[in-house]
């Protein structure tokens, strides 16, 4: 499986660290869709669209990790492409730490067959991001009939 990475200036440093983590520690093939250098005024749609287009052409065999300040805009861009199911992760989601960071990502993989992970680079630590990416890449889709049925319904919308 190939993993595509994309970000603007807000997630540039984190993308570089995660790209190396995925390539060297998790040993996946990676492709960097940009930004390739820090440019303070760049625009995330330019890069995220490249990664989303790649996943859209192979929704079951490719994945992408996209980053931005909150991850929300990046997910919006990614979800405009057919067959892309982007989920946003921006931390543990619980002020008291009751929920482990990757659990939201695991549910998105198991139930929704999410194929794009959007990270809020200004809201997560490197450790949280690595945990979320690992969970995203290693958690399989359950294939349960109710989840398949729901994804099929989603795919019917233009």
Q: Which of 13, 16, 31, 111 is catalytic?
A: 111
Angstrom CA distances, 142 to 3, 28, 65, 106, stand at 20, 21, 21, 10
The Cα angle at residue 58 between residues 63 and 156, in degrees rounded to 5? 105
Q: Output the pLDDT for position 147.
A: 98
Q: Which of 74, 96, 128, 147 is catalytic?
A: 74
DSSP state of 6: E
Give me 67's structure tokens. Answer: 């980053």
Q: Output the pLDDT for position 157.
A: 87
pLDDT digits (tens, 9 = 90+) for 92-147: 754 454 445 458 999 999 999 999 999 999 999 999 999 999 999 999 999 999 99
DSSP class per residue in 70-130: SSHHHHHHHTTSTT--EEEE-S-S-TT--S-TTHHHHHHHHHH---EEEEETTT--HHHHH
Is residue 81 very low, low, confident or very high in pLDDT (cuts 50, 70, 90)?
very high
Q: Is 111 a catalytic residue?
A: yes
Question: What does the mean pLDDT of the chain come to?
Answer: 94
pLDDT digits (tens, 9 = 90+) for 1-31: 999 999 999 999 999 999 999 999 999 999 9
- The domains located in the chain, with CATH, are 2-156 (3.40.1400.10)
Alpha-carbon span 67 to 29, nearest angstrom: 18
Q: Is 74 a catalytic residue?
A: yes
Q: Output the pLDDT for position 91.
A: 82
Angstrom CA distances, 135 to 18, 47, 112, 124, stand at 13, 23, 14, 15
């Amino acid at each position: 499986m190939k993993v595509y990475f994309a970000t603007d200036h807000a997630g540039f440093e984190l993308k570089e660290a995660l790209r190396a983590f995925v390539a060297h520690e998790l040993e996946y093939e990676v492709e960097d869709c940009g930004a390739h250098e820090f440019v303070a005024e760049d625009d995330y749609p330019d890069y995220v669209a490249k990664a989303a287009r790649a996943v859209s052409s192979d929704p079951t065999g490719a994945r992408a990790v996209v980053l931005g300040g909150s991850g929300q805009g990046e997910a919006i861009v990614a979800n405009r492409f057919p067959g892309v199911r982007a989920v946003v992760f921006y931390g543990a989601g619980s002020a008291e730490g009751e929920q482990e960071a990757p659990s939201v990502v695991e549910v998105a993989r198991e139930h929704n067959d999410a194929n794009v992970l959007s990270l809020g680079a200004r809201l997560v630590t490197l450790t949280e991001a690595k945990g979320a990416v690992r969970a995203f890449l290693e958690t399989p889709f359950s294939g349960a009939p109710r989840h398949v049925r729901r994804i099929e319904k989603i795919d019917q919308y233009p």
